[in-house]
Structure 1
Amino acid sequence: MYTSHIGRRLLGLYHQRTGEDLSARQFFEQRLYPLFYNHKRYLQWVPSSPFAQKVAAGNLGGGKTEAEVQLATLHHKIATVPPDASFVIGFPAAGVEGTTSGQVSGVGPRVGTEEIYCSWIGGALGVGVSGGLSLLLDEDDVLWALYEGWAHYRTYLDQRPTMKGNQIETWNGHWLAHAFDSEFDPNHPLDNLKIELTDTAGTLAMPTREWVQVLFALTRHYPTRDLTAYVYSLAQTNRTIGFVPLQLRGIRKVYDLTDKLFLFPAAVQSAGQDQLLRLYSVHYGFARACQLGAIGLAAIEPAKLRDYLPSAYGPAKAPSTKTDAAAIQFAFQQLWILAMLNNQELYDTADRLAGALHQFSGTAKQGKMNLDRQVEKVFVKHRPAFIERLTEILEEAKGSAVDYVSLFDEAVRQVMLMPVDNFPLFIILVRFRYIARAAA
């Protein structure tokens, strides 16, 4: 029950940083319950729990509020009832027929009451990301940032009377990206917090944060480390992905390419790297990215990159840079390829080859459109065909003042030295640099 472990970790951090030595039950009663459940709008919804059950009017005697009765019911269940998902976060449902029930065992789990309260604490520390999954991260700075964010979520919610509650994991994703941003000011924690709320029939809601943005936030905070996340979903049907390595040092390579900001439209270059990275979109959903075995540089492949390589389904599309949004995505695709190739010499070779091809397409021996088509034939998926197309261009360009032979020889040498898997990335980069020249 990993939620209990994470809850106990926060409990230890709380004691370490505040000096207050609270038990799990005391922490729940004094820190979590007042923020989460002692309000009309909760911060977290736990299905079938006492907080999800309406209190009968007959149980409200003696001046007790509904929330107080629900809290007393939770304490009673924890003390007397065998544990199940209705009051232990991350546990299977009671019985054997529910969609969230676990495998039947004659032994039965032995779970102490402190562990149960810890599961509520840990369950409130899940970081929700796009794709309906959440992450638990066993890192001091992450846990403490999320804990401090709870109170700000309550403030944020109270300031918006038409906003629905029960989105703590979604909030955690936004808050973590915000708290680890280079512009975050702890003295004014809600400044620059930008969440584009959706409006459905007059009710506001937070959309889930894109998973790549959460990864970028972690990369900013841990530039020289890799982490491990526990990935799961607790919903109508529970889902467990398991422990997934987060290879942040690989993702950091995107940050290290600050000298390539010239690839972006001039109008947005001054925005800075962090602002631009907020516009990054990815090819993989988070569940599919986890199937790669680790979340690293390969997992953050930019969206639509594969459209620009010929396939069995048809010819490659031509990238468009007519709008700023398209040009920004075009720049991200080039940055990612450069990071994957991890070789400045390959970039220089690709750029010089693109320049030579652009010069060739501008010659007047035959119609410009025919020359463009001949150049487009160079952008193929396999090395032998690539070399054959360059040879055809050399035949066509005989007698030219441009030294195509040395430029093409350099490209072929690099292509033959690189791993086969890198060639498609190299050829897309050449095509991108060619199109960038044509659009200039």
Structure 2
Amino acid sequence: MYTSYIGRRLLMLYRERTGEDLTARQFFEQQLYPLFYAHKRYLQWVPNSPFAQKVAQGNLVAGKTESDIQLATFHHKVASVVPDASFVIGFPAAGVEGTTSGQVSNIGPKIDNEDIYCSWIGGALGVGVGSGFSLLISEDDVLWTLFQGWKHYRTYLEQRPGLKGNQIDTWNGHWLAHSFNRHFEPNHPLDEFEIKLVETAGVLSIPTREWVQILFSLAYHYPDQNLMAYAYCLAKDNKTIGFVPLQLGSINRLCDLNSKLFLFPEAVQSAGTDALLRLYATHYGFARACQLGAIGLAAIEPAKLRDYVGGPDYAPKPLSIKTEEAAIQFAFQQIWILAMLNNQELYTAADRLAEALHQFTQRNDHRDSGRGKKNLDRQAEGVFVRNRAAFIDRLTDILAESGSQAGSYLDVFDEAVRQATLMPVDNFPLFIILTRFRYVARQSQGSLAIPTESSPA
């Protein structure tokens, strides 16, 4: 019951930072319940819990609100009923025929009442990452930041009558990404905080923050750390991915865009790192990314990159960077490859090779013939193959074609071949696609074409 552990962590943190020695029940009554359930619209919906059950007319008592009666019912169940999912967050359903009955066992420790209250505290600290999944992260700064965001969610909800409630995990994702932003001002926490609400059938809701954006914020706050997160989904059918390592150190290599702004269109270079990172899109969804064993650089592979790499069953698509959106994704794809290679020499070799191939296609002795120019373009494109032996053969063919000008390409080709033979097999396709990207940038003669000497720091 990891929710109870997380809840207890926040409770201990609360005691340390406020000096108030509250029990879990007291914390629930004083801090969580007034914000989450003492209103018509809740911050969190727990199916079949006392707060999800309408109070019968005959059970209403003079001087007591419906919320008061629901709270009393909840306390009664905690004190006297065998724990189940209706009032313990993260627990299996009662009985053996529910959708979570596979979790049921008659072996296990007795659950303390304090642990039940802690499960509600911990259950309110999930960070929504899409497809119904949430993360629990046992880090003091994360837990305290999310706790501080609860009151802002209540205010945000009350100020928007058309906004549905029960989205605490989704809110937590937005709040964490905002609070761990490099421009966050603790004394003015709502400055620059903005959510683009979506409308469905006349009802407004908060969209889930992209999981990669939450990782970028964590990577900024913990630049050299690897964290452990617990991934789960509490819905009609509970799902548990389990503990997933977050390799934030490697992800941070991609987030440092200051030295790589030259790869982006000039029109967006002044937008800043945070604004640019919000445009990043991934190939994997969150659940699929977890199947890689850890959330690191490989898991945040840019969307559509594989279209340009090709595979055994399909040829690579032609690169097009005619629109600003395409140019931005083109830049991110290059930056991700640079981060994966993590080798300045490989970038330099790829960039110099791209320049040499570009110069090869501009040879004056073929300018008078459109067919000849197309043949040169085709020959240069032929270098971008996934097989190292074929790659070397294609470079050799270009040297032979170049005749007296071969000497101007020889050093660059030699270095490219040297790097290709020394690098791990898995890196070679990345080296090839990076070279192709740099080549297309030059061929496009647009804002992405950069001088040969430009390179990331």
What TM-score does the superposition give when structure 2 sets the normalisation length?
Answer: 0.94
Match of 2:171 in 1: 171
Contact 2:216/2:255 (8 A) holds in 1: no
Residue range with higher mean Cα deviation, 342-351 or 96-105: 96-105
Residue range with higher mean Cα deviation, 192-201 or 416-425: 192-201
Quote how far apart the aligned CAs of 1:310 are.
Answer: 2.6
Deviation sequence 1:32-86 (CA, Å, 0-9, x none): 0000000000000000000111111111122211111110110011111000000
Match of 2:417 in 1: 412
Quote how far apart the aligned CAs of 1:179 are.
Answer: 0.5
Residue range with higher mean Cα deviation, 148-157 or 369-378: 369-378
Residue range with higher mean Cα deviation, 252-261 or 223-232: 252-261
Quote how far apart the aligned CAs of 1:257 are.
Answer: 5.0
CA distance in 2 between counterparts of 1:210 and 1:106 reads 39
Match of 1:194 in 2: 194
Match of 2:441 in 1: 436
CA distance in 2 between counterparts of 1:350 and 1:103 reads 53
CA distance in 2 between counterparts of 1:24 and 1:199 reads 37
CA distance in 1 between counterparts of 2:105 and 2:315 reads 56
The structure-2 alpha-carbon separation of the partners of 1:104 and 1:218, relative to structure 1 and needing over 3 Å to count, comes to closer
Candidates 378, 381, 386, aligned match of 2:386: 381
Contact 1:387/1:412 (8 A) holds in 2: yes
The structure-2 alpha-carbon separation of the partners of 1:17 and 1:57, relative to structure 1 and needing over 3 Å to count, comes to same
Match of 2:231 in 1: 231
Q: Match of 1:88, as an amino acid?
A: V
Match of 2:10 in 1: 10
Deviation sequence 1:94-150 (CA, Å, 0-9, x none): 011111223443335510110000000000000011232110011000000000000
CA distance in 1 between counterparts of 2:249 and 2:81 reads 46
CA distance in 2 between counterparts of 1:182 and 1:224 reads 16
Match of 2:33 in 1: 33
Deviation sequence 1:166-192 (CA, Å, 0-9, x none): 000000001000010011122222221
Contact 1:247/1:296 (8 A) holds in 2: yes
Mapped pair 1:396 → 2:401: yes
Seq. identity, %: 71
Q: State the secondary structure of the residue aligned to 2:101.
A: coil
Quote how far apart the aligned CAs of 1:405 are.
Answer: 1.6
Q: Match of 1:425, as an amino acid?
A: L
Structure 1 segment 33-182 matched on structure 2, within 5 A: 33-107=33-107, 109-182=109-182
Match of 2:335 in 1: 335
Residue range with higher mean Cα deviation, 117-126 or 265-274: 265-274
Contact 1:361/1:375 (8 A) holds in 2: yes
Q: State the secondary structure of the residue aligned to 2:391.
A: helix
What TM-score does the superposition give when structure 1 sets the normalisation length?
Answer: 0.98
Q: Match of 1:255, as an amino acid?
A: C
Contact 1:93/1:102 (8 A) holds in 2: no
Residue range with higher mean Cα deviation, 226-235 or 370-379: 370-379
CA distance in 1 between counterparts of 2:273 and 2:97 reads 51
Structure 1 segment 266-285 matched on structure 2, within 5 A: 266-285=266-285
Quote how far apart the aligned CAs of 1:331 are.
Answer: 0.4
Q: State the secondary structure of the residue aligned to 2:191.
A: coil
Q: Match of 2:346, as an amino acid?
A: L
Match of 1:289 in 2: 289
Q: Match of 1:325, as an amino acid?
A: E
Residue range with higher mean Cα deviation, 263-272 or 58-67: 58-67
Q: Which aligned segments of 4 or more residues in structure 1 are displaced greater than 6 angstroms?
A: none
Match of 2:247 in 1: 247
Quote how far apart the aligned CAs of 1:233 are.
Answer: 0.7
Residue range with higher mean Cα deviation, 406-415 or 305-314: 305-314
Unpaired runs of 5+ in structure 1?
none
Deviation sequence 1:247-279 (CA, Å, 0-9, x none): 101111113452111000101111111221111
Candidates 357, 364, 369, aligned match of 2:374: 369
CA distance in 2 between counterparts of 1:130 and 1:430 reads 34
CA-atom RMSD in angstroms: 1.2
Structure 1 segment 317-332 matched on structure 2, within 5 A: 317-332=317-332
Q: State the secondary structure of the residue aligned to 2:296.
A: coil
Q: State the secondary structure of the residue aligned to 1:129.
A: strand
Q: State the secondary structure of the residue aligned to 1:295.
A: coil
CA distance in 2 between counterparts of 1:324 and 1:102 reads 51
Match of 1:348 in 2: 348
Q: Match of 1:37, as an amino acid?
A: Y
Match of 2:314 in 1: 314
Contact 1:223/1:249 (8 A) holds in 2: yes
Match of 2:452 in 1: none
CA distance in 2 between counterparts of 1:402 and 1:162 reads 71
Match of 1:220 in 2: 220
Match of 1:421 in 2: 426
Contact 2:126/2:169 (8 A) holds in 1: yes
Q: Match of 1:337, as an amino acid?
A: I
Q: Match of 1:187, as an amino acid?
A: N
Deviation sequence 1:206-229 (CA, Å, 0-9, x none): 111111001001011111211100
CA distance in 1 between counterparts of 2:406 and 2:215 reads 50
CA distance in 2 between counterparts of 1:119 and 1:278 reads 33
